């Protein structure tokens, strides 16, 4: 089919929304290493994990073999309110870059949470409701995940308790108000409401909080309150499963126009978006049916894949969560507080870590100013103001498209535009003022993080 026929935006029909999520682990020869119980250091059992997560989600988390999970109808109905999301042909960006490459982006920002996070939030809320729970607890950093879970809980009439990293709670009051508008209870973390929060407050008075600490608080609040479970927006295999809808829709849209991507690019924090976007393509690669280049783009200020170690580590500062084998900078690693947006988690999804370790995926890290350069260039021609996280993928897509200009190659480049930057205007303001930080951790900074790795690796 000629490229002339490709519209600016490819929308699937509502009845083309996938009816099953795809579990990439089913096609991995080397499965991700099992989660470990933090108390016993043995592989965690479904029963143990059920104290933290809903039963159905525990099944999804531990199942490395089932390739497809049906998407319940109530979730599909919710999806219809904001999905299918458009796959956009970036004609204007191509023209601006004067590149022979064809650039596509899957845009997940057209919903009030402002990102792809809603795809998993609605699933996690649904299973909580099905189990007859009162509510869920969670943590949020930049606020996208907390907003998404608030929306999902509001839809199902569930209570939602969000522990929000204190610095974000104070600096992002708007995100906080969206969550409150959707009926969530938002607490700055570390709080005095949990054991672990009180302990961290005592140890580090005046701390700004961290995602790892907020996770510990949310897990404690879930396990110590009757009728609550914990929900997490990234890193977990269940999240990657739910987010596979991004990749499945992308593939269906490309297939419709006979387009085969050469390079697929996603920003990488905990891996939820990247894992979801590449899932079905990675499945084809793992099964030897097709070949693609996958590029994970992380921030140079928190470079878990490019400078981390592939070892077992704690998932949270309070060490209450299961241990995961992953590329990590150590749960005590402190990213720069001046870093914008998400992508600040110290570790990476176990499944993506294994795939990277096995050579199925590339990774690169990029600095903050060059990332915003790309985001603003994109915004001015494509009309969408991207989230800082998404700017990482845009940077890499532009770089690859510029290489095509050099070589004359007509590559198909696909990247994930995970969300919008409407709640990140303080960061854009710093960029506009030329006061953006380009912090990169020194070897000493990294060594401090690695020093906190658990003994189990020895």
- Sole binder of a second copy in the list 18, 32, 38, 114 (CB under 8 A): 114
Give the C-alpha separation, 46 to 67, whole Å.
Answer: 19
Query: With binding defined as CB under 8 A, does residue 447 bind a second copy?
Result: no
Give the residue from 313, 390, 375, 374 showing the smallest Cα distance to 346. Answer: 313
Tell me whether residue 173 or residue 337 sits nearer to a second copy (CB atom).
Answer: 173
Site string for a second copy, 124-153 (x = CB under 8 A): ---------------------------x--
Query: With binding defined as CB under 8 A, does residue 432 bind a second copy?
Result: yes
Instruction: Give the position of tokens 């209570």.
Output: 159
- Sole binder of a second copy in the list 390, 420, 436, 449 (CB under 8 A): 420
Are residues 385 and 422 in contact, defined by beta-carbon separation less than 8 angstroms? yes
Site string for a second copy, 72-101 (x = CB under 8 A): ------x-xxx-----x---x---------
Site for a second copy in 11-50 (CB under 8 A): 11, 13-14
Residue 106 has phi, psi (to 5 degrees) of: -90, 115
Tell me whether residue 24 or residue 394 sits nearer to a second copy (CB atom).
Answer: 394
**Residue 250 Cβ, how far from a second copy at the closest point, in Å?**
17
Give the residue from 241, 223, 320 showing the smallest Cα distance to 283. Answer: 241
Write the DSSP string, 2-51.
Answer: -GGG--SEE---GGGS-SEEE-GGGG-SSPPPPPB-TTT-SBPPHHHHTT
Residue 105 has phi, psi (to 5 degrees) of: -135, 140
Give the C-alpha separation, 126 to 298, whole Å.
Answer: 31
**Residue 83 Cβ, how far from a second copy at the closest point, in Å?**
9
- Sole binder of a second copy in the list 380, 407, 451, 456 (CB under 8 A): 380
**Residue 91 Cβ, how far from a second copy at the closest point, in Å?**
8
Is residue 147 classed as helix, strand or coil in its secondary structure?
helix
Count of residues engaged in binding a second copy, rule: CB under 8 A: 44
**Residue 421 Cβ, how far from a second copy at the closest point, in Å?**
9
Query: With binding defined as CB under 8 A, does residue 183 bind a second copy?
Result: yes
Is residue 94 classed as helix, strand or coil in its secondary structure?
helix
Query: With binding defined as CB under 8 A, does residue 407 bind a second copy?
Result: no
**211 φψ region: left (φ > 0), alpha (ψ -120 to 50), beta (else):** alpha
* Strand residues in 220-292 grouped as ranges (E): 228-230, 263-267
Give the C-alpha separation, 399 to 216, whole Å.
Answer: 38
- Sole binder of a second copy in the list 376, 437, 440, 452 (CB under 8 A): 376
Tell me whether residue 30 or residue 181 sits nearer to a second copy (CB atom).
Answer: 181
Site string for a second copy, 269-298 (x = CB under 8 A): ------------------------------
**Residue 391 Cβ, how far from a second copy at the closest point, in Å?**
12
- Sole binder of a second copy in the list 23, 60, 111, 144 (CB under 8 A): 111
Helix axes 237-256, 350-357, angle to 10 degrees: 70
**Residue 84 Cβ, how far from a second copy at the closest point, in Å?**
9
Identify which range of 47-55, 169-177, 241-249, 321-329 contacts a second copy by CB under 8 A.
Answer: 169-177
* Strand residues in 226-358 grouped as ranges (E): 228-230, 263-267, 293-299, 309-314, 323-328
At a CB cut-off of 8 Å and minimum separation 6, what does 97 contact? Answer: 398, 401, 402, 405
**Residue 107 Cβ, how far from a second copy at the closest point, in Å?**
10
Are residues 415 and 422 in contact, defined by beta-carbon separation less than 8 angstroms? no
Query: With binding defined as CB under 8 A, does residue 8 bind a second copy?
Result: yes
**Binding residues for a second copy (CB under 8 A):** 7-9, 11, 13-14, 78, 80-82, 88, 92, 110-112, 114, 151, 154-155, 173-174, 177-178, 180-183, 376, 379-385, 420, 422-423, 425-426, 428-429, 431-432
């Amino acid at each position: 089919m000629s490229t002339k026929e490709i519209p600016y935006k490819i929308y699937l029909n509502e009845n083309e929304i996938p009816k099953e999520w795809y579990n990439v682990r089913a096609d991995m020869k080397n499965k991700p290493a099992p989660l470990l119980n933090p108390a016993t250091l043995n592989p965690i059992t479904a029963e143990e994990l059920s104290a933290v997560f809903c039963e159905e989600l525990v099944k999804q988390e531990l199942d490395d073999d089932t390739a497809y999970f049906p998407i319940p109808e109530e979730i599909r109905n919710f999806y219809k309110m904001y999905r299918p999301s458009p796959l956009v042909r970036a004609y204007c960006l191509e023209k601006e870059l004067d590149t022979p490459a064809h650039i596509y982006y899957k845009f997940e920002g057209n919903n009030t949470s402002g990102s792809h996070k809603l795809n998993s939030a609605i699933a996690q809320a649904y299973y909580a409701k099905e189990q007859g729970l009162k509510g869920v607890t969670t943590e949020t950093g930049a606020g996208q995940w907390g907003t998404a879970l608030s929306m999902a809980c509001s839809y199902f009439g569930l209570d939602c308790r969000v522990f929000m990293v204190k610095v974000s709670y104070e600096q992002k009051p708007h995100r906080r108000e969206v969550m409150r508008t959707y009926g969530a209870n938002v607490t700055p973390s570390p709080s005095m409401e949990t054991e672990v929060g009180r302990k961290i407050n005592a140890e580090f008075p005046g701390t700004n909080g961290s995602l790892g600490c907020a996770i510990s608080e949310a897990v404690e609040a879930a396990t110590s309150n009757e009728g609550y479970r914990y929900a997490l927006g990234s890193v977990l295999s269940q999240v990657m499963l739910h987010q596979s809808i991004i990749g499945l829709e992308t593939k269906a849209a490309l297939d419709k126009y006979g387009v085969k991507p050469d390079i697929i690019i996603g920003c990488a924090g905990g891996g939820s978006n990247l894992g979801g976007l590449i899932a079905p393509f990675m499945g084809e690669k793992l099964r030897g049916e097709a070949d693609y280049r996958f590029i994970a783009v992380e921030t140079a200020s928190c470079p878990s894949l490019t400078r981390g170690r592939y070892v077992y580590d704690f998932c949270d500062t309070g060490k209450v969560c299961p241990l995961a084998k992953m590329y990590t900078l150590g749960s005590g690693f402190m990213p720069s507080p001046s870093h914008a947006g998400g992508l600040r988690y110290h570790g990476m999804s176990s499944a993506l870590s294994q795939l990277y370790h096995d050579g199925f995926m590339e990774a690169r890290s990029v600095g903050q100013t060059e990332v915003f350069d790309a985001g603003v260039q994109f915004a001015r021609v494509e009309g969408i103001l991207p989230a800082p996280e998404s700017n990482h993928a845009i940077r890499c897509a532009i770089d690859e498209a510029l290489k095509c200009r050099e070589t004359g190659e007509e590559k198909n480049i696909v990247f994930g535009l995970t969300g919008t930057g409407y709640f990140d205007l303080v960061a854009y303001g710093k960029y506009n003022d030329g006061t953006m930080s380009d912090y990169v951790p020194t070897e000493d900074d990294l060594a401090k993080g690695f020093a906190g790795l658990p003994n189990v690796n020895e």
